[in-house]
Structure 1
Amino acid sequence: MSVNRIDFAVLGSTPLARLVAGLLASIHGKTVVSIGDSQGAFRLPNGIDLSVAPITRPESWSMLDHALPETLKLLARVAGKGCWSRIDPILFAETAAGRMALAHMRNSAAGFGHAIEPLAPGQLGPNRDGIVMRDAVLLQRTQLEPALDHWLDKLKVRRLPQAGTDITLRRDGSAIIDLQGQPVTADSVVLIDDAALLQHLAPNVLASVFVSSPACAILTDPMSGLAAPALLQVDAGLSLFQRNTGGVVAIAHGTIEACTPRLAALLGAHGKLHRAGQSRFDRLASHDGAPVLGRINNAGPVVIGDLGPSGAFLAPALARWLSGAALEEEAAYFAARAPGRALSPSQVADYAGGIEARA
């Protein structure tokens, strides 16, 4: 790595951010600095990494289906097959709009060969409709993230903490980074997770593309098994999964105070829900429910946002796109989801249950 110039600074603490940084270095021969926090074993996650998602657009399912084998091959090489599990998650909804969106999701996914079954009426309680999606992949962050850090170290990708790293963004998309007193120019900056976007974009720029709202993660004491290893309530922006220890992790839109009674009711916890841990953060969603990929107003850093729970599986495609080597389908997909796209109407809009749930 040159002491005064690098190709990319990738900002983000998620598996997606680490995967993109590593792929830029290993496959595309770029010099990269990764700025983010390692958190798998030390704090609650603020997201779930699942190969299916509450999406309705056929082109998004096509992208996922093409990306999954390549990503799993990469993960097996970098972290071993123990970093993911094959599961049958449940997607469900309570509202009329959510049920309609769920039907669209089922039809779109089935069109690409996904095995899907309806839940029996009342299986999740009254007034809830759901589907079981067979043979999905759930990434295990507590196993994956340390392996990704080790991989980046082997690739000589410099890893810096999010807090305390001095970085000055420029309008042309580059940045000056202070590496222990040595100023280094990054030719391109990529913001990959919500925390990085919130920290480095001006509020008015952020608001032109995203809606920000409070969110939380709650870990329960060990309890009896969930109806599935992972559940997504598509009309409430709620994700649940159970750890090997028996505790349930819930990630939801809203405050801890507002989410706790809803979670207790969903889990069938009679009386007070026993929390073993909790965290608060802000979550971003695009105005039309679709991902956002590119530079806002053709200025500043590259923004990658609102990819949903399946974003990590698009890492190889995103690394190609950032390197100018995207396949034809990938280039078209990402170009259609640029920040400057028309919103009234949006040609790529997807179901935005999280936005509706917090309105």
Structure 2
Amino acid sequence: MELPEPPVKFNSTNKQLIRSEWAKPLLAYLHDDLQKKLIYVGLPDTEAHDVKEWLDYLDVVYAFQCRDYPKPSSPDQSRKNVIALENTLRTLERQKLLSTYDVYDGYIEEVLLRGYDNSPTTKEFSQQETVTIYNLDFCGQVTSPIVYKDQKGISRKAFKFNAVDKLLYSQKNVDQANKKFVLFLTLHCSYDGKEFTDFLNNPQDRDIEEYFKNFSGMSKGKKAPYLIKAFVYHQLTRFFTHHFFTPEFLPTIYYKGDNDHPLLFFTVIGTQVENSSALPIPPVKMKNLLNTPIISVKKDGIFAVNEALKLSGDSVKNGDLESLKIFKKTKTFTTFWK
């Protein structure tokens, strides 16, 4: 039985530090590398704390806001949260801090898969230029679906990774060269559902099967960070390479949100590769990815290996764990960005 989504807020002290000390240096570098401000697609919540933190580097914001999380969308629900986000972004536009914005009424999964939102004017989602930052602050479980009505009024299930796949598909089909972007993904550190059980029983990857042997006998809560990490790496690698992007994963961050909810924050640098007959080969082998330790943020904004989650085979030692420095040491950076 699938559990209800836990109520999670979006602006804990740890999340603020991740935005400012981990994410922001990457966006500053991307801004400088592209020599232009960035196009944002994401789930900023009504106060748009992430947008405000990164304003120096943003130009356009495309945001998604559901009405009554985690309930399925309904025309009877109040639009107050949607309107609140519109007002927040409109203020930034009037102050000339953003050139423009758009807010889509509904869960990102339903809007992308159906093609339009729940607003009274039925707003269609379309992508005309390369998105340079995705901030998918889901906070719910990775395999918890939402239910929505399709164009024929039939109830459908949509998963968070259906939205990620659709975003990358749209990104691939934009007629622009030199596509570089950063994808941030936040998920609740727990799991349920048939899709995750199927993955655990049949991961279809020898390295992941070997990795899972580390956690036999562990309680569900203790092994959740490792299993979710493996699921996300596996799925995102498939999506990125299928759409001819090479994924560079930076260390996964484990942190406690408001009300002590355990959360995982993923960072993926995406780079377009030549569209040939063969799919791109990921720059890092899955075994090495899995052996990269999970890190956490301290109160002073310093990132360090989470010793409580460290495995004997972890390949990164404690030390200088700054996001931009880590990225500049990667094969992706030296091959495509330097």
User: What TM-score results when the alignment is normalised by the length of structure 1?
Assistant: 0.26
User: What TM-score results when the alignment is normalised by the length of structure 2?
Assistant: 0.28
Flag the structure with more relative contact order, 1 or 2, with Cα contacts below 8 A and sequence separation at least 6: 1
Larger strand proportion, structure 1 or 2?
Answer: 1
